[in-house]
Amino acid sequence: MEEESLISHPFSVPTTLFTSALLLLLLLLLSLLFFFFKARASSKPKAHYRLPPSPMGLPVVGHLHLLRAPIHRALHRLTLRHGPLIHVRLGSTLCVAAATADLARDLLKTHDAAFSDRPQTIAARHFAYDSAAFAFAPYGPYYRFMRRLCMLELLGSRTVDQLRPIRHAEVAALLRTLLEKSKRREPVNLSWEVIRLTNNEVTRMAASTTSSAVGGEAEEARELVKQVAELIGAFNLEDYIGFCRGWDPQGLSKRMRDVHARFDGLLERIIKGKEEARRSKKKKNSNREGGEEDDDGVVKDVLDILLDVAEDEKAEMKLSRENIKGFIMDIFTAGSDSSAASIEWALAEILNHPRVLQKLRQEIDQVVGNGRIVDETDLPNLPYLQAAVKETLRLHPPAPIIHRQATRDVTVEGYVIPAGTALFVNVWSVGRDPKYWEDPSEFRPERFVDDRAVVDMRGQHFQLIPFGSGRRGCPGMTLALQAVPVAVAALMQCFDWEVSGESCGSNSGSGREEKGTLVDMEEGIGLVSARAHPLILVPVPRLDPFPEI
């Protein structure tokens, strides 16, 4: 909240310090204005650019004062007022924001090549080992190689399917925990339980045979993932105000160095543990005949695949230690929070709509029955569940803004977007585009059930792009579309849920067709669009007898 206050109320100071603070501020503004006008003078060759409309800005800070968190809602309000394509200046950084599905198609499909890079913030560079990681790597040979490796091996359908037993085991462990707490009618912080579920799934899929990754250091990994997400999503003055660069006025760079050092140490221990396990296996198999298949039937995890590529002398690209650590950090930070947020929002929306809950349970009961727990293999036979997840991702995309950077000048709808401009495609607004969605603020899974209105989430139907599109589309989509629905289905199948007072909301939200106790739907702030408050619920076993888990 400190960064939010800094942006929203930049002149809020104690009255006893008002005079001295005002003088200091004036001196600072004079210095900044000097650099501001100097920078403008040096950029006059770009004055002919016809930029999209813009709200009124201020010297030096530009439009920073208008962007109160959550940023996607602030941008949505600005585009409603000034048009679906606008430009804003965040300090000295020129940004363009787009808010409709048609604009998303133009920018991410027609001009995909021109927006193939991501803005390099200080935090992104720090946690990406400069350009060694994958998520923020510049578009080039390394990025293309890693993306192919992701789609074919690391996060492809085959690997995701082979690692399904890990996810099943973690869902079962969560259900056992909830069953024990239900016996005491104990309220459960489901937000914490869900993030533990997704973190354990991702950690074990990344390094399933490394004891340190799935044992005592799992809690450390969860805490570090949380801090990395906070730092990458934090507003950093050094990224936007040139005068502040190198000063670290918010202390964020110091925190980055500390968190990065701790995370690097954890990753190093995980990799060394994996390398030791691989050496032991090779020694064990040294006197045996056979090919590359593991004699003990152990499926290769993501880290195994990365180390195989690093050791392959014939590989197209040689992976360094930093490449491997950067990719594992990407998986930890991107895979845990986003999936957990999607599961939470789905549970909250379904609980707030008893009609949806009833239809969902009828479908699960008919397909799965009450003698076993729903599994990922059941998902193709659960269309209403899939529709409810789609509707959740439309209203609550885990990454509500797609960030890109123009590598060359681009003309869109008669406006010029200069090279180097940061692009914000507001996925949250796109999911509410009235041209494509009737009653766009309502939670209505039925809109995806009609075969005449099939909308895919894989980046080709731009009215629904929770995983992005084009060259920078999310490579973890296949995994998310397996892990999120099955977790939601299992929690709805196995338990009734009593809403704790801590999770109560009001009946004033749009799209609420039933009255009664509702789960609060306030959004938090951060890189991932998560709930502002923990989801506190009391589990009540629904199946009797409860299936073996």
pLDDT, residue 480, reads: 94
pLDDT, residue 428, reads: 97
Please report whether residue 26 resides in a domain: no
pLDDT, residue 7, reads: 30
Do 260 and 274 meet the contact criterion of CB atoms below 8 Å apart?
no
Please report whether residue 102 resides in a domain: no
SS3 state at 498 = strand
Nearest-angstrom CA–CA distance, 27 and 25: 5
Neighbours of 261 (CB within 10 A): 10
Total domains present in the chain: 1
Please report whether residue 162 resides in a domain: yes
Q: Which amino acid is at 237?
A: L
Q: Which amino acid is at 174?
A: L
Q: Which tokens go with 337?
A: 């929070």
Nearest-angstrom CA–CA distance, 466 and 488: 18
Please report whether residue 461 resides in a domain: yes
SS3 content of the chain, % helix, strand, coil (to 5): 55, 10, 35
- DSSP strand pairing (495-499 vs 422-426): unpaired
Average pLDDT by stretches of 10, the chain with 549 residues: 31 31 44 50 54 92 88 96 96 95 97 93 90 90 93 90 94 96 94 93 80 58 86 86 84 94 94 90 68 57 94 91 94 88 97 97 96 96 97 96 96 96 97 96 92 79 95 92 97 93 48 59 85 94 89
Neighbours of 76 (CB within 10 A): 18
pLDDT, residue 116, reads: 94
Q: Residue 409 maps to which CATH number?
A: 1.10.630.10
Contacts by residues 511-520 (CB-CB < 8 Å, ≥ 24 positions apart): 511/439, 511/441, 511/442, 511/443, 511/444, 512/352, 512/353, 513/353, 513/355, 514/352, 514/353, 514/354, 514/355, 516/354, 518/351, 518/352, 519/347, 519/348, 519/351, 519/352
Nearest-angstrom CA–CA distance, 209 and 160: 16
* Residue 244 labeled ligand binder: no
Please report whether residue 78 resides in a domain: no
Please report whether residue 166 resides in a domain: yes
Do 360 and 386 meet the contact criterion of CB atoms below 8 Å apart?
no
Q: Which amino acid is at 63?
A: H
Q: Which tokens go with 456?
A: 């895919």
pLDDT, residue 544, reads: 86
pTM for this prediction:
0.87
Please report whether residue 59 resides in a domain: no
Please report whether residue 229 resides in a domain: yes
pLDDT, residue 223, reads: 87
Residue 345 belongs to domain spanning: 141-288+297-541
Nearest by Cα to 136 from 330, 310, 276:
330
Upstream peptide bond of 70 is cis (omega within 30 degrees of 0): yes
